[in-house]
């Protein structure tokens, strides 16, 4: 069965797809603000009706105690892989309203762009995904893979009840892999496949220099000050360039491969604009491009640091204790525990004699994630993008771990392919968020091809990791 | 007229003086806690009755909107100097109560010590001062100097309305010098005269590295982090020993004189115990003893430092701004503005390219204070201590400026001699505060001698500085 009729059907329905997206965008589904509770409820009703209408089964809300997720399945492809399609229906608050050129919940088209809160993040790509499943069922009466649509309602508030939802509906969410409509393209001109993310580990550093806070008049100049000692330690973590100055930590990092270098260079990236956009100061490990530093090299950042008197006015104290919250973004090859231990050993060696150093809240992180080049998700995406763009897709990595994908990996063992069609310039989380209209037909062609390609693999090819739940309800 | 009959009178009245002190100590005059309002009021009534009873005139409360001060004068010595005698009737809260061996407001004598809240700080020395004036009037019918007794009620809460009291009663408080019953002896075996205090200046350092807080996954490893930059700057303020590493600041410090070295060495001081008492770590400028560092050398301390996320848990941000509150304790010879400017110039030079450094809340401090060796207060105290101890008094300095004396100097131009008889080991502000009973007869001998010695100087010899008020009400 060719996928072309499905694509033709979708492109013929382009205006109807846009109408549906407009209706989706008119619903003010701001998850963080109770004033939008009605908008959230209306959006769930809209989605339930839509998923029922296109022929999914078991359409329902998955309630974890917060904003429920919307679920619907099509599981009539025995032997084919089962794919969770992830999207989210909640959006960021539209504030500051005064900066919007047209109202955030009145979708408006200007200059090839569809302006509305949630257009890019992520109702546009979620609509493409749902319409793709609808088209397969409408044209072929079946999908190439088993489908579990999972449309979350709390992505913009940090998914506070996602763990509870997975705990409660774990068996229902068994699958072989996940495709996310969130997490988009890295470039409008170069086809990209996201093959991984940096890992994360952390610790809180506590420096103590006395048994109590001291009066700076009575002790100043004669004893150590915890803030001076903390500063002296933090100043040793990086060299003047901003590169990590802890050999035992850097030695564990996998050197860049030729492919890494090639892929990073292949992605158009304006380093000067990247830094200028945030009014920042470029810094970091010499010998690497900014994108290499961000995605293939580790980073240590002090996220918070404090001690002594921080209120208004002044207080002449010598602080006895100072603290720093430190995170390490882990590159491929690094073990979170080894990295945290190398950091601790370095700090202990850097502390001056007598300074008491201790560590709290150590670890709890995860290593960098990587989809192997021969992973079915990567193979399938490669074929799709090669065909649709005529170019060889570039493998890209993220500097940050995406919490959703990390949670699904940890709990259900699922690898995720990000296949959203949003682009980096679309002002997500800001006023005048938009979605490039040209992305819609691109997505309506690519998504059917992707499901078709995934359907060529047996379920066993995905080697999904250990799930915390039994696989009873998984389509087999 | 010899002073000996006055001293004899006081020593003969030793038991009565102790009774009065016991009564004073039984009054729970905790200024910071509204639950003790009655105790504060009772104490004022007690003092008003006492000052009237001994024959002072114009006895009254001086109200600045907070806890009033108690005032009384004897101004019948034309041509003689006018001396403000300073004490305070308020005490620290007694908490934690459970740690007191005997109740804090039930004075108890054990092992030569008088235990009670306020015994050392400063009802003991205040009682000695009042009894001295009383004895002069009882025995001689006059004092060697004009007296203005000023017993403050807010010393333990930072004197919040002292400025208002001075503003309202400025003409009444004109004088030639001040003797403080607060601020005691530095040693039980060596007679000391406090001849100065370090000065103070301050600034708040603001470091900025971007226009907004950044996500450490998206930017970590590629841009400067405000906390790293602040730490790098703070780490350059001192060398590894803890000595100030800013030549332009240190060059302005007056080198120690032979007398400085001699006086500091003459005072028994257990450096190891000083550091061990606070569980601290000795550090600072090589080539100087701890007491020299504390009193004759400057100190830079970061009193507070903060930036980024300091709440519970973690937040993966790269802070765009970080701040440090910095104070400089100034040694003799340093100009507060020059020191603050040298610090700023050093910081600007230490900041890495692109890092935005600015300063807020600069200055507002004062230079180190020094009573010249030939100042009448010093000459008088020297003669008294030489006679009473048989030893040459040692000049000592304080590491910290005493706010009260600084305020009286700024507003009324008065120099202050600290002549309290408390000792450093008396657990002030802590449970089981006590006053060495042996200090009472010592004080009852020394205070009359001091007033007698001061009476030998003409008022003009004190060269009191510029007062903000006219001198109309000063005795002439």
Q: Which domain range does residue B130 map to? A: 4-196+368-462
Domain end, chosen from A316, A337, A360, is at A360
Tell me the C-alpha distance between B409 and B375, whole Å. Answer: 15
Q: With an 8 Å Cβ cutoff, are B399 and A218 in contact?
A: yes
**Domain count within chain B:** 2
Determine which of A400-414, B25-39, B43-57, B66-80 has the lowest per-residue pLDDT on average: A400-414
Do residues B327 and B183 share a domain? no
CB A433 within 8 A of CB A184: no
Predicted ipTM of the assembly: 0.87
Residues of A in contact with B299 (CB under 8 A): 216, 220-222
Domain end, chosen from A333, A360, A387, is at A360
Is the pLDDT reported for residue B471 higher than 90? no
Q: With an 8 Å Cβ cutoff, are B319 and A310 in contact?
A: no
Residues of B in contact with A210 (CB under 8 A): 278-281
Nearest-Cα distance to chain A for B296, in Å, is 10
Tell me the C-alpha distance between B253 and B299, whole Å. Answer: 11
User: Which chain A residue is nearest to residue B365, measuring alpha carbons?
Assistant: A314
Do residues B319 and B187 share a domain? no
pLDDT of residue B476: 35
The partner residues of B371 in beta bridges, in order of sequence, read none
Q: Is A430 helix (H, G, I), strand (E, B) or coil?
A: coil
- Phi, psi dihedrals of residue B378, rounded to the nearest 5°: -70, -45
Residues of A in contact with B327 (CB under 8 A): 216, 220, 314, 316
**Secondary-structure percent of chain B, ordered helix, strand, coil, rounded to 5:** 40, 20, 40
pLDDT of residue A466: 72
Q: Is B71 helix (H, G, I), strand (E, B) or coil?
A: strand
Do residues B354 and B381 share a domain? no
Q: In B215-335, which residue ranges form alpha helices assigned H by DSSP?
A: 216-219, 226-234, 247-250, 258-266, 271-277, 290-296
Tell me the C-alpha distance between B167 and B411, whole Å. Answer: 9
Q: With an 8 Å Cβ cutoff, are B234 and A222 in contact?
A: no
Question: Considering all CA atoms of chain B, what is the largest pairwise distance in Å, rounded to the nearest integer?
Answer: 86
User: Which chain B residue is nearest to residue A212, measuring alpha carbons?
Assistant: B278
pLDDT of residue B366: 84
Residue A120 in domain: yes
Do residues B50 and B176 share a domain? yes
pLDDT digits (tens, 9 = 90+) for A241-260: 999 999 999 999 999 999 99
Of B283, B306, B398, the CB nearest to A305: B306
Residue B204 in domain: yes
Q: Is B291 helix (H, G, I), strand (E, B) or coil?
A: helix
User: Which chain A residue is nearest to residue B230, measuring alpha carbons?
Assistant: A231
Do residues B353 and B384 share a domain? no
Do residues A190 and A203 share a domain? no
Q: With an 8 Å Cβ cutoff, are A301 and B211 in contact?
A: no
Bond from prior residue into B96 cis (ω within 30 degrees of 0): yes
Residue B129 in domain: yes
Do residues A174 and A226 share a domain? no
Helix H, strand E, coil C: the string for A285-340 is CCCCCHHHHHHHCCEEEEEEEEEECCCCCCCCEECCEEEEEEEEEECCCCCHHHHH
Of A278, A302, A307, the CB nearest to B211: A278
A-interface mutation test, from B158, B211, B212, B223, most A Cβ less than 10 A away: B223
pLDDT of residue B91: 95
Do residues B25 and B172 share a domain? yes
pLDDT of residue B1: 59
Q: With an 8 Å Cβ cutoff, are B303 and A315 in contact?
A: yes
Residue A65 in domain: yes
Of B228, B301, B361, the CB nearest to A216: B301
Residues of A in contact with B278 (CB under 8 A): 210-212, 214, 219, 223
Q: With an 8 Å Cβ cutoff, are A275 and B399 in contact?
A: no
Instruction: Give the whole-number percent of chain B exceeding pLDDT 90.
Output: 87
Q: Is B442 helix (H, G, I), strand (E, B) or coil?
A: helix
Output the CA angle B333-B338-B341, nearest 5 degrees.
150
Do residues A411 and A345 share a domain? no
Residue A151 in domain: yes
Residue A185 in domain: yes
Residues of A in contact with B280 (CB under 8 A): 209-211, 214, 219, 223-224
Do residues A335 and A437 share a domain? no
Q: What is the CATH number of the domain that holds B310?
A: 3.30.70.360
pLDDT of residue A314: 83
Residues of B in contact with A317 (CB under 8 A): 301, 303-304
Of A211, A232, A234, A233, the C-alpha closest to A223 is A211
User: For residue A236, what is the DSSP state?
Assistant: T
Residue A181 in domain: yes
User: Which chain B residue is nearest to residue A324, measuring alpha carbons?
Assistant: B310
Domain end, chosen from A338, A360, A382, is at A360
The CA distances from residue B207 to B220, B228, B326, in Å, are 18, 10, 13
Residues of B in contact with A302 (CB under 8 A): 225, 227-228, 231, 308, 319
Tell me the C-alpha distance between A459 and B141, whole Å. Answer: 111
Per-residue pLDDT of chain A (476 residues; tens, 9 = 90+): 689 999 999 999 999 999 999 999 999 999 999 999 999 999 999 999 999 999 999 999 999 999 999 999 999 999 999 999 999 999 999 988 999 999 999 999 999 999 999 999 999 999 999 999 999 999 999 999 999 999 999 999 889 999 999 999 999 999 999 999 998 798 899 999 999 999 999 999 999 999 999 999 999 999 999 999 999 999 999 999 999 999 999 999 999 999 999 999 999 899 999 999 999 999 999 999 999 999 999 999 999 999 999 998 888 899 999 999 999 999 998 999 999 999 999 999 999 999 999 999 887 678 899 999 999 999 999 999 999 999 999 999 999 888 888 899 989 999 999 999 999 889 998 999 999 999 999 999 999 999 999 999 999 999 777 776 754 444 33
Residue B470 in domain: no
Of A274, A305, A318, the CB nearest to B227: A305
Q: What is the CATH number of the domain that holds B180?
A: 3.40.630.10
Q: With an 8 Å Cβ cutoff, are B215 and A400 in contact?
A: yes
Interface size, chain A vs chain B, as Cβ–Cβ contacts under 8 Å: 291
Q: Is B358 helix (H, G, I), strand (E, B) or coil?
A: strand
Q: With an 8 Å Cβ cutoff, are B355 and A303 in contact?
A: no
pLDDT of residue B2: 80
Is the pLDDT reported for residue B470 higher than 60? no
B416-418 sheet: strands from edge to edge: B57-62, B69-74, B146-152, B82-88, B177-180, B416-418
Q: With an 8 Å Cβ cutoff, are B304 and A307 in contact?
A: yes
Do residues B355 and B325 share a domain? yes
Residues of B in contact with A280 (CB under 8 A): 209-211, 214, 219, 223-224
Is the pLDDT reported for residue B475 higher than 60? no
Nearest-Cα distance to chain A for B433, in Å, is 19
Between residues B367 and B105, which one has the greater pLDDT?
B105
Do residues B68 and B150 share a domain? yes
B-interface mutation test, from A301, A312, A396, most B Cβ less than 10 A away: A301
pLDDT of residue B145: 98
């Amino acid at each position: 069965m060719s996928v072309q009729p499905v694509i033709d059907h979708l492109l013929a329905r382009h205006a109807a797809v846009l109408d549906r997206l407009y209706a989706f965008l008119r619903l003010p589904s701001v998850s963080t603000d109770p004033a939008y509770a009605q908008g959230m409820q209306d959006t769930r009703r809209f989605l339930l009706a839509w998923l029922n209408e296109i022929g999914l089964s078991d359409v329902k809300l998955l309630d974890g105690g917060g904003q429920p997720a919307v679920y619907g399945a099509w599981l009539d492809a025995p032997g084919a892989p089962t794919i969770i399609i992830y999207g989210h229906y909640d959006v960021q608050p539209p504030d500051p309203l005064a900066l919007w050129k047209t109202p955030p919940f009145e979708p408006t088209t200007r200059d090839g762009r569809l302006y509305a809160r949630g257009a890019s993040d992520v109702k546009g790509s979620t609509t493409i995904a749902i319409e793709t499943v609808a088209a397969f069922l409408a044209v072929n009466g079946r999908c190439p893979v088993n489908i579990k649509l999972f449309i979350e309602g709390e992505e913009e508030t940090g998914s506070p009840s996602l763990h509870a939802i997975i705990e409660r509906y774990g068996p229902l969410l068994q699958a072989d892999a996940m495709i996310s409509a969130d997490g988009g393209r890295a470039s409008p001109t170069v086809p990209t496949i996201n093959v991984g993310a940096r890992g994360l580990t952390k610790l809180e550093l506590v420096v103590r220099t006395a048994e109590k806070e001291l009066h700076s008049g009575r002790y100043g100049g004669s004893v150590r000050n915890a803030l001076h000692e903390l500063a002296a330690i933090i100043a040793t973590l990086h060299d003047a360039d901003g590169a990590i100055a802890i050999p035992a930590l850097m030695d564990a990092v996998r050197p860049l491969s030729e492919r890494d270098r090639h892929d990073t260079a292949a992605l158009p990236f304006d380093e000067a604009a990247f830094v200028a956009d945030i009014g920042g100061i470029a810094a970091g490990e010499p010998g690497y491009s900014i994108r290499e530093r961000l995605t293939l090299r580790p980073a240590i950042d002090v996220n918070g640091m404090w001690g002594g008197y921080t209120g208004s006015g002044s207080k002449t104290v010598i602080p006895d204790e100072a603290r720093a919250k430190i995170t390490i973004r882990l590159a491929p090859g690094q073990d979170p525990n080894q990295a945290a231990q190398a950091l601790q050993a370095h700090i202990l060696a850097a502390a001056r004699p007598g300074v008491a150093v201790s560590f709290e809240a150590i670890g709890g992180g995860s290593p960098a994630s990587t989809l192997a080049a021969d992973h079915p998700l990567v193979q399938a995406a490669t074929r799709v993008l090669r065909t649709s763009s005529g170019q060889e897709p570039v493998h890209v990595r993220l500097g940050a771990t995406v919490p959703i994908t990390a949670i699904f990996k940890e709990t259900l063992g699922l690898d995720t392919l990000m296949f959203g069609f949003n682009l980096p310039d679309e002002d997500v989380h800001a006023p005048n968020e938009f979605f490039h209209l040209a992305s819609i037909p691109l997505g309506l062609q690519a998504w059917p091809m992707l499901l078709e390609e995934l359907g060529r693999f047996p379920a066993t090819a995905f080697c999904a990791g250990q799930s915390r739940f039994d696989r009873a309800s998984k389509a087999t």
